[in-house]
Structure 1
């Protein structure tokens, strides 16, 4: 009888993987916008600096995933972890807007590679085990909930150095977690194949054949389903992080109430991630992914119907639950559909297309807002996403289970 994955993987290795998920990002997505506003840029410059975060991940997530397949996730993660230790304190040391844009390019890539590595390990070490996968996703969401609060408090108490200090502390914890991992990908903590050579500067150069080979993975139906669901789901997140905030300001919510809404979103996401495994056993992975993505899009589309705080909080909490359920499914489904040597590539493919959506959707929705207004823009953009998601569900009719 096959030994359960949770017992086959040593505790030290599991803790290392959980840690890489929890400490992958820290609070850079909160502190860097605060820092850029502190520098008092023009609105256009602010948008350029913040948008820079997704550019390198869009271009190099596939390459990073392929490197993890080729050289081992641990080695690549430690390389980016070293960069993550250095960059945070360069922000307050170099207080210029254009420098912040360059540094945000780098920190966007390092945090993305951290998360790509954690997801790659789910496939390589955990073999896509659903229970262990939701635990990694739960840790990631918990980190996104705790670190922004801690970083905000440290910013208020000690200024920018306090906020960036939290990012540095998260980077230290990530490096410690990555160092706990085995040098190879064996669940038992022993390498199945030794790393044949160290990481070299030449490895940073992308190869065209790696990209073309990675995109052929979309020919696997379950990979295509998971990637499409991930991109559509990240579209909801792109709206949440931009015009959803603008809408809440327009209806008169204070900054504190907006913070409460996002706290509710994150907490319900934790609950959804924790509840994924029993729900998937009843419905099947693919059906549950499709249903939760469609539900999340529908809930963001109807946002303008709610102008009072409590109803808006309620639908946001429900949407967060749906997104929490879908996140680990986007990791589990493709990880069980590709061989171990392609785990990093399939994660990089999904993350790269996610970053493309994050880069493109906000300015597109901004153009729609300019034409039809912010309230109607939710109906137009959300409606299009909803039609696409329902169409994909009809095309990719899920089996009873995956």
Structure 2
């Protein structure tokens, strides 16, 4: 394995792992300076606002200026911003900091995905490794930073986050620096407007439409699980440690099942793998409404984790193999925007459902709604599977 591949996998570990890592320490710090639970929710939501609005021009920026150029600088910016957190003394300052930090982190992850697509063109072995290491980052990041917070304190936690980001910036120096042939507009406003027009125009491409639709449904299922499974388990009077175990085994299953993509790719196309395993994940999350047994819920969470883990490298492979190098970043940005939209709308819909009916049946109702959307997507794309 060459140095560039190792740098991509390590950068994926750090870029995606940074999300749950900061999701541990930022709320704790916010509570420490007197923020209310509602204010903590607003602070954490602000991390996703600009990535939702700017992911498309951000992806196009990666295409224009190169993966190495963008990721090294924005990872360094994340490191600097991490050191600013301990000096914030109000909710307003934290909101502003989260806005900037969120977009820098998101663009780093967009850059890693774009670089893998441009360089390795959907190689299932490479995308499986990226899926494993990036999911591993989401598992180990919170554990590491939680230990630092408990034993070394608040300031040390943000210093550790800065070192995490600084290491990503150094590793990014080994990433590819391939620049697309896209023409640069005379002004930034024209460039951004052109990026949005081009991105939404790409939805006419059946492959792009399929990827965006599948990605949105997939993240919708994940957001349903992560948002309401702890609530449902608490209503069933399971302990916090039992809840943590269920969530943890799902994450571990996702990380290791990423390698299954390379196995299934010997017989099925990545498009088919993506569709089949999203349906399996939806069946698992919907079935959580039908049981109150901890053992059965554990099996369903493992099943969902396995299915979700296979789909991530499948998406990377389709993007890398079927999308032009010149617009890899643009399409990754479009997918990121659609994902952010799904992770906002699905918990909202699920919350309304839980309020009207019950938490237990929310999984079945929302899961089946997503299943209808997924089956419609598969029917539209039936000629490609």
| Pairwise same-fold verdict (TM > 0.5) | yes
- Residue 211 of structure 1 and its aligned partner are, at CA, apart by 0.7
- Residue 174 of structure 1 and its aligned partner are, at CA, apart by 0.6
Please name the residue that 1:22 is paired with.
13
Please name the residue that 1:351 is paired with.
336
- Greater helix proportion: 2
Q: Is the 8 A contact 1:147 1:166 kept in 2?
A: no
Following the alignment from structure 1 to structure 2, what is the Cα–Cα distance between the partners of residues 215 and 89?
37
Following the alignment from structure 1 to structure 2, what is the Cα–Cα distance between the partners of residues 397 and 40?
54
Q: CA RMSD in A?
A: 2.2
Following the alignment from structure 1 to structure 2, what is the Cα–Cα distance between the partners of residues 97 and 234?
29
Please name the residue that 2:223 is paired with.
238
How has the CA–CA distance of structure 1 residues 370 and 300 changed in structure 2, closer, same or farther, with 3 Å as cutoff?
Answer: same
How has the CA–CA distance of structure 1 residues 307 and 98 changed in structure 2, closer, same or farther, with 3 Å as cutoff?
Answer: farther
Higher mean C-alpha displacement, 147-156 vs 356-365: 356-365
Matched, 1:248 2:233: yes
How has the CA–CA distance of structure 1 residues 288 and 159 changed in structure 2, closer, same or farther, with 3 Å as cutoff?
Answer: same
Following the alignment from structure 1 to structure 2, what is the Cα–Cα distance between the partners of residues 60 and 235?
20
Please name the residue that 1:97 is paired with.
91
Structure 1 SS opposite 2:292: coil
Q: Is the 8 A contact 1:80 1:113 kept in 2?
A: yes
Please name the residue that 1:53 is paired with.
47
Higher mean C-alpha displacement, 371-380 vs 261-270: 371-380
Following the alignment from structure 1 to structure 2, what is the Cα–Cα distance between the partners of residues 313 and 139?
23
Structure 2 SS opposite 1:277: helix
Structure 1 SS opposite 2:267: helix
Matched, 1:107 2:98: no
Following the alignment from structure 2 to structure 1, what is the Cα–Cα distance between the partners of residues 232 and 25?
22
TM-score in terms of structure 2 length? 0.92
Following the alignment from structure 2 to structure 1, what is the Cα–Cα distance between the partners of residues 14 and 341?
24
Following the alignment from structure 1 to structure 2, what is the Cα–Cα distance between the partners of residues 309 and 37?
32
Please name the residue that 1:119 is paired with.
113
Please name the residue that 2:70 is paired with.
76
Following the alignment from structure 1 to structure 2, what is the Cα–Cα distance between the partners of residues 280 and 304?
32
Q: How many pairs align?
A: 380
Please name the residue that 2:146 is paired with.
152
TM-score in terms of structure 1 length? 0.89
Following the alignment from structure 2 to structure 1, what is the Cα–Cα distance between the partners of residues 161 and 189?
25
Please name the residue that 1:65 is paired with.
59
Please name the residue that 1:394 is paired with.
379
Matched, 1:216 2:201: yes
Matched, 1:275 2:270: no
Following the alignment from structure 1 to structure 2, what is the Cα–Cα distance between the partners of residues 167 and 205?
36
Following the alignment from structure 2 to structure 1, what is the Cα–Cα distance between the partners of residues 32 and 214?
36
Higher mean C-alpha displacement, 299-308 vs 169-178: 299-308
Higher mean C-alpha displacement, 249-258 vs 141-150: 249-258
Q: Is the 8 A contact 2:257 2:306 kept in 1?
A: yes
Aligned ranges for residues 193-208 of structure 1 at < 5 Å?
207-208=192-193
Q: Which runs of 5+ in 2 are unaligned?
A: none
Please name the residue that 2:124 is paired with.
130
Following the alignment from structure 1 to structure 2, what is the Cα–Cα distance between the partners of residues 48 and 205?
32
Following the alignment from structure 1 to structure 2, what is the Cα–Cα distance between the partners of residues 13 and 290?
30
Matched, 1:13 2:4: yes
Matched, 1:183 2:168: no
